[in-house]
Structure 1
């Protein structure tokens, strides 16, 4: 289907530390692409560059054929480029359902609409609530929809964060270590939901993950980042059998 994200010869330094070094990657539309590598390889920085949190020092980033190098993250969000975080960022004093309802912009956020167009505000709130109910059932959290999000388990919070991407018209979702702190049962729920979003709704995913079992289940291709540059790209089987990767980055953990 062609590339939906293209990173072209991007560089990023923080002071004297060169974190991203002449890095180029492509993410094919409709794929679940893995991004792996040791701590300090630059994975999260690359995510932040793609998501508009940072601007690169040089190089270009394209999304769906448009140059987004200088586009801030809030504008990219509304274009359908979203990211999750290693530590879930829920509104802890709101219910799980309310967390989902907070995502899409609503007419009621404008005080004039509240005064002058109350019927529109009410109709939109009902629509958003119904969508949130559909999403929370999809991700398997209907039984905790009225629970404060701060009381959810780590895995449930990750499912909720995935659900938040469904409340807008997402095209690409950047997943940053979504398996961290998640028990094996809920991890399988996460994997199934990611696969369903990919297969049924056409989401493209770029996944940072240290859990190689999850990468093996989900991702093709897999990109190995090292010292801010692409070391190798291919199937997980090819990556796991690449002697250079094994020796430099996985050691005994590769098997």
Structure 2
């Protein structure tokens, strides 16, 4: 029995002037799956995830999330549906502590009624719940011992983990990660990929990752899409894709 994808694109095309960045790109990401998009520079990877995340609108094609057409929805509307993303450079509040950064995106903070805050102390109970959940997330990513440290004191790899922790507080169903291993030492890079598998298994989160460091990433993922010149040229298990002649030619030039 086929499992319905949590995310799918159908014949996505995107052009910038006379340059075609994406041409009829179709992918399907299953729930609780750790999928990877690979390809040489200029292959269309970043354009694709920007279309999926809502930062770019496609010229043709559709994007579906849990069977819903989200092609024309804004990034924040997609976020409310459970589709979140991180960026190559973490977007943190460096003057705040690790814990404060994790607490920022809690949806209820912005949906709380003003009168309820003024006329009751229910916000105290909610704050206690939020803090408890924040520590659980930080512990999963081995950041709980740094809870009161300024975000500016973290290493580059720890900052990427903190951004992931902040996204997790919104209970996303799918997270897009844009080069989470870039600039991270090999030891922590392996840990980051291991954390993604733990989050997939323990929290049921689905991940779509763009990454260049194949020597590390391929060991941890379930499924791979290889792109070249704006098209998907291969897909399947990591071992199958990396041995595909078209993928080898795209990376090595023949």
Distance 1:120 1:188 in 2: 42
Displacement of 1:225 after TM fit? Answer: 0.9
Aligned to 2:63: 61
- Give the conservation status (yes or no) of the 8 Å contact 1:35–1:43: yes
Displacement of 1:66 after TM fit? Answer: 0.6
Q: Any gaps of 5 or more consecutive residues in structure 2? A: none
Aligned to 2:180: 178
SS in 2 for 1:217: coil
More displaced stretch, 236-245 vs 44-53: 236-245
Distance 2:113 2:62 in 1: 39
Write the deviation string for residues 18-39 of structure 1: whole angstroms up to 9, x where unpaired.
2111111111112111100011
SS in 1 for 2:6: strand
More displaced stretch, 67-76 vs 15-24: 15-24
Distance 2:130 2:244 in 1: 48
- Give the conservation status (yes or no) of the 8 Å contact 1:34–1:207: yes
Displacement of 1:108 after TM fit? Answer: 6.8
When the two structures are superposed, what TM-score results if normalisation uses the length of structure 2? 0.93
More displaced stretch, 12-21 vs 60-69: 12-21
Aligned to 2:138: 136
Matched, 1:218 2:198: no
Q: Any gaps of 5 or more consecutive residues in structure 1? A: none
Aligned to 2:244: 242
When the two structures are superposed, what TM-score results if normalisation uses the length of structure 1? 0.92
Distance 1:25 1:115 in 2: 45
In angstroms, what is the RMSD of aligned CA positions?
Answer: 1.9
Matched, 1:14 2:16: yes
Distance 1:122 1:101 in 2: 14
Distance 1:158 1:105 in 2: 21
Distance 1:122 1:29 in 2: 35
Aligned to 1:158: 160
Any residues of structure 2 matched to 1:196-211 within 5 Å, and which?
Answer: 196-211=198-213
Distance 1:106 1:6 in 2: 29
Displacement of 1:215 after TM fit? Answer: 2.4
Write the deviation string for residues 162-186 of structure 1: whole angstroms up to 9, x where unpaired.
2122201211111110001111222
- Give the conservation status (yes or no) of the 8 Å contact 1:41–1:225: yes
Q: Given the superposition, is the C-alpha separation of residues 246 and 126 from structure 1 closer, same or farther in structure 2, using an over 3 Å criterion?
A: same
SS in 2 for 1:143: helix
Matched, 1:78 2:72: no
SS in 2 for 1:3: coil
Aligned to 1:126: 128
Q: Given the superposition, is the C-alpha separation of residues 69 and 101 from structure 1 closer, same or farther in structure 2, using an over 3 Å criterion?
A: same
- Give the conservation status (yes or no) of the 8 Å contact 1:215–1:236: no
Q: Given the superposition, is the C-alpha separation of residues 110 and 220 from structure 1 closer, same or farther in structure 2, using an over 3 Å criterion?
A: closer
Distance 1:41 1:176 in 2: 14
Displacement of 1:99 after TM fit? Answer: 0.4
Aligned to 1:44: 46
Displacement of 1:118 after TM fit? Answer: 4.6
SS in 2 for 1:218: coil
